[in-house]
Amino acid sequence: MVSDYIPPLKDINFVLEHIAGAHELAGLDRFSESFDASMVEPVLEEVGRFMAEVVAPTNVDGDTTMSKWVDGEVITPDSFKAAYKQYVATGFGSIPFDPTYGGGGFPWTVGVAIQELLTSSNMAFSLCPLLTQGAIDAIEHHADDKMKSAYLPKMLTGQWSGTMNLSEPQAGSDVGAVATKAEPVGDGSYKITGQKIWITFGDHDMAENIVHLVLARTPGAPPGTKGITMFMVPKYLLDGQGNPGEKNDVACVSIEHKLGIHGSPTCVLSFGDNGGAIGWPIGDEFTGMRNMFTMMNNARLSVGLQGLALAERAYQGSLAYAQERRQGTAVGAKRGVQSPIIEHADVRRLLMSQRSWIDAMRCLIYTNAASIDRSKALSGEEGEQAREMADLLIPLSKSLCTDLGNELTSLAMQVFGGMGYVEETGAAQHYRDIRIGAIYEGTNGIQAADLVGRKLPMRGGGVVMDHLAALDLKAKELASQEGMAVFAENLETAVATARDATSWLLEHGATDVNAALAGSSPYLRMLGTVVCGGLMADLAMKADKSSDAEFAEAKKVSARFFGEQILPTANGLLGAVTAGPDDLFALTPKQLA
Amino acid sequence: MKVAVCVKQIPDPADPGALDPETRTLKRDVKLILDESDSYGVEMALQLVDAAGGGEVVLVSMAPNNERSGLSTALAMGAASATLVSDPALVGTDALTTAKILGKIISDQEPDLVIAGSESSDGYTGTVPEQIAGVLGWPSVTAAKAVAIDGSAMKVERQTDAGYDEVECSLPAVISVTAGVVEPRYPSFKGIMAAKSKPVVQMTVADLGMTAAEVGWAGSGQEVVDVTVAPVREAGEKIEDDGEAHLKIIEFLESVKAI
Ligand SMILES: Cc1cc2nc3c(=O)[nH]c(=O)nc-3n(C[C@H](O)[C@H](O)[C@H](O)COP(=O)(O)OP(=O)(O)OC[C@H]3O[C@@H](n4cnc5c(N)ncnc54)[C@H](O)[C@@H]3O)c2cc1C
Ligand SMILES: Cc1cc2nc3c(=O)[nH]c(=O)nc-3n(C[C@H](O)[C@H](O)[C@H](O)COP(=O)(O)OP(=O)(O)OC[C@H]3O[C@@H](n4cnc5c(N)ncnc54)[C@H](O)[C@@H]3O)c2cc1C
């Protein structure tokens, strides 16, 4: 009964080309040699087919068979191993990376589209390539050339996978508390000892080697984030030919039992039980945290994308079910005949809310990705502007889209009625799987703190204010569009509200940090919704660029629904943003009981 | 070794579009894809060329609107080039005329072997491969599940109800393959990129030295006289397993003479 995954290629291609401007990236020096924009559609077509036919069918098996810990090793479901082997053969993982190491040299934006197709097909499975991409990103930027040529070619294809080892029992949100030790051996290598927890795909049997990137402290390192260095610790040390040889001193001592993503092993890794795992520093001593940040944008965007990807998959199932299931007689239908539930207004609301938010999320994530690409490809003021945009959008993409992932998979389940709550329909799995998105890669609370603490203060609030000013212009442009007058008015109002909220935070946050932090989460939701309002205005104005009139109509209605029925919710958050911390802290823990 | 593979490009079976009530054929104004039935032929051809230690796989196709999406998939899998016949005059072309047209291209290509699907997923007459062999005067082997080439001779394991026959014939020859005999590879990123610059030669009816009267509705000796909706599949019988279910299954299989 679990429905198949249909790659939403029309939507993806449209947003890439007309909203994110991915095709224009081909005109930038960085991409001009390797990126042929006319190949985006053919590539995504084949990637989509592969994901739908090979990866999507493993989703339920991953959930029920699960990855298991057996005698100190992780065994993934057989269906995962088979699909992964084929994935490696396609080379799809290499598309957005440096051609020097076998990559396709396409922009990250196209890589994000590929990731959407992969993640919708099977989120648990997708985490292995996802973490590998994160590790590649770090190595590409910070490792020396020798390391790059030894590791990157095989990591790009996925023959070897990667992990990110940050978390420890006392170091979760507080990464600065990392205690894992690295002792220099004297030959450039280090002996690593300590325990890491929650390590995604920290051990498994799909790849020939696993390249762990580990945050650790060298002797005499200053406390906190300033004393952290990043190390590369392969599961198997390379032999003289550069192939996996002797096993390193890293052990997976257990895996977690989780709410969802059962196919993805979440490992406790013990480094150095037998004298120390051999590792090599990536970048200079004490630059570990800074180096993490260079890849953090991509990683956070990828997690935001999970919210979009699972909302899309869950929506597809709910839309199919709404046409099959008959209950009640819809208004205007023949009496005595049960109508498909899609004919009921409230079910329509469940569907339109999903449809519209999914469109908005795709616009947000892809635009964010394109701004990352531009920030790397452009220099001077243009590059700086793109970087500011990328940095501002990251917490919005990560938090808003994972929160919505939770909300929308819940709406999808609602469409199924009781059948949504039983596992048979698959709706419950999507709901369980996406729950982690709001927690890992910096909890959504930490993202909100990042927004008010780091992003809002950029240029003294100028980056946010400039963006709001641009949205005002967009509202004016939209007003002349047929059928969009109310949307345009709502956009203007919501932008004004966001400006008030932003001014309040800038004013009060400067003297009372807790005032800004108290309102950070509702502010993120508000700003995210308003930014999406601007992107949906774009969608409404550009929809006619599609040669498919039905598609254009659908996008316009989706955008109008957003503008008239979702965007106004942003205004209601002003009270929470500007209330300050007093009531939050008014009660003692005892009184809170 | 040179292997020619006949590939039909068809409307996506997941979204096939509408029947034209006048001609009783599928409207082909939607995007066409590689018929899955032909992906097996492409894969087998690639494997044979590999086994032979060199050579090339060429594609031949007849399709409306210069459609080449399906060809792109096969080129991305590894075929070297394609010839595509497309012409408005071809609307209504029946299976025999199709075979004549494909046969003309194939004889120009001078392949050692021709591979086609046993039957297409949409038209489904299952006659084109044998008719191509007839047109060319070459041996025809149907239902090939394994093929071994040895110089100018070929050994084929031919699927039968009971098992398989071993058949030998000379080359050039035409074989048809059934779905599932090999596992078609998915195009790799490099394959997809390479496909862009592979040659696709487009031909019209005139280029083939034929006239409009010989093809399309005019040239067809075959006509679709009626189309009816396939009957809805009836619900099966559910048997609860009370420990004796296997006996009921045996009884059922005997009743339909399956065992
Ligand atoms: C399935 C799974 C996979 C994971 N994969 C990896 C991985 O591959 N690599 C890796 O290194 N880690 C991984 N993690 C760890 C993950 O990143 C952490 O769980 C996450 O960062 C939160 O840390 P924590 O669990 O210690 O929660 P805590 O830090 O204890 O947070 C608890 C709550 O307090 C809030 N909070 C904490 N500090 C603050 C603050 N300063 N301001 C406001 N609120 C605050 C949080 O928002 C949260 O709501 C994974 C976790 C899971 C569950
Ligand atoms: C303008 C135009 C309109 C057409 N409209 C239709 C239509 O409405 N319905 C329809 O079914 N077909 C249509 N065709 C295609 C053509 O008429 C059929 O291919 C032909 O009738 C064969 O029928 P079949 O599918 O039953 O072949 P089968 O004998 O079932 O096919 C067996 C194998 O023969 C090969 N083969 C068959 N046809 C082709 C081909 N065209 N190109 C390359 N290899 C081929 C393939 O390997 C296939 O697996 C159209 C073609 C053109 C150019």
Cβ-Cβ contacts under 8 Å, A50 against chain B: 186
Is the N-terminal amide bond of B172 cis, ω within 30° of 0? yes
The verdict on residue A290 lying in a domain is: no
Residue A476, domain member (yes or no): yes
Q: Read off the pTM.
A: 0.94
- Given a contact cutoff of 8 angstroms between Cβ atoms, the answer to whether A258 and A266 are in contact is yes
Handedness of CA A7, A9, A10, A14 (dihedral sign): positive
Q: For chain A, what is the domain count? A: 1
List, for residues A489-540, the tens digit of each pLDDT value.
999 999 999 999 999 999 999 899 999 999 999 999 999 999 999 999 999 9
- Tell me which of A116, A168, A312, A441 is the catalytic residue: A441
CB within 8 Å: B186 and A94? no
Q: Kindly state whether residue A508 falls inside one of the protein's structural domains.
A: yes
Which ligand is closest to the CA of A267, given by its number? Answer: 1
Query: What whole-number distance in Å separates Cα of residue A100 and Cα of residue A234?
Result: 22
Mean pLDDT of chain A: 96
Alpha-carbon span B102 to B136, nearest angstrom: 10
pLDDT at A200 over 80: yes
Of A38, A49, A89, the CB nearest to B188: A89
Instruction: Give the pLDDT of residue A505.
Output: 98
Beta bridge partners of A192: A182, A277
* Separation between Cα atoms, residue B164 and residue A307, nearest integer Å: 51
The pLDDT tens digits of the residues spanning A331-367 come to: 999 999 999 999 999 999 999 999 999 999 999 999 9
| Position A433 in a domain | no
ipTM: 0.93
**B69 contact residues in A (CB cutoff 8 A):** 45
Query: Could you tell me if residue A500 is inside a domain?
Result: yes
Q: Give the chain A residue nearest B33 (alpha carbons).
A: A45
Q: Does residue B110 contact residue B83 with C-beta atoms inside 8 Å?
A: no
Closest residue of chain A to B74, computed from CA coordinates: A46
Domain with A574 in it: 453-586
Q: A549: which residues sit within 8 A by CB, 6+ positions away?
A: none
Sign of CA dihedral A452, A454, A460, A466: negative
- How much distance in Å is there from the Cα of A207 to the middle of ligand 2? 43
Q: Which of A13, A35, A43, A46 to mutate to test the interface with B (most CBs of B within 10 A)?
A: A46
pLDDT at A52 over 80: yes
- pLDDT 10s digits, B163-209: 999 999 999 999 999 999 999 999 999 999 999 999 999 999 999 99
Helices within A252-379 (DSSP H only): 288-324, 345-377
Domains of chain B and any CATH numbers: 2-225 (3.40.50.620)
Q: Is residue A163 part of a domain?
A: no
Beta bridge partners of B6: B60
Rounded to whole angstroms, how far apart are CA atoms A221 and A205? Answer: 35
More confident residue, B238 or A66: A66
Residues of chain A above pLDDT 70, percent: 99
Can you tell me which residue has the tokens 């209504």?
B92
The answer to the question of residue A439 being in a domain is no
- Helix then strand then coil, % of chain B, to nearest 5: 30, 25, 40
Q: Which residues are near ligand 2 (CB < 6 Å)?
A: B 6-8, 25-26, 28, 35, 37-38, 60-64, 90-91, 93-95, 98, 102, 116-117, 119-120, 122-129
CA B224, B226, B229, B233 torsion: positive or negative?
A: negative
Q: In a 3-state reduction of DSSP, which class is residue A291?
A: helix
**Contact in structure between A404 and A524 (CB atoms under 8 Å):** no
Q: Is A507 inside a domain boundary?
A: yes
- For chains A and B, CB pairs below 8 A equal 42
- H or E element in which residue A134 lies: helix A123-142
Assess whether pLDDT exceeds 60 at residue A1: no
Q: What pLDDT is attached to residue B193?
A: 97
At CB < 8 Å, which residues of chain B contact A? 14, 69, 72-73, 76, 185-190, 192-193, 195-196
Active site residue A183: no
At A2, is the pLDDT very low, low, confident or very high (cuts 50, 70, 90)?
low
B191: closest chain A residue by CA? A90
One digit per residue, the tens of pLDDT, for chain B of length 259 reads 999 999 999 998 877 777 888 877 777 777 889 999 999 999 999 999 999 999 999 999 999 888 899 999 999 999 999 999 999 999 889 999 999 999 999 999 999 999 999 999 988 899 999 999 999 999 999 999 999 998 889 999 999 999 999 999 999 999 999 999 999 999 999 999 999 999 999 999 999 999 999 998 888 887 788 888 888 777 777 777 888 888 888 888 888 888 7
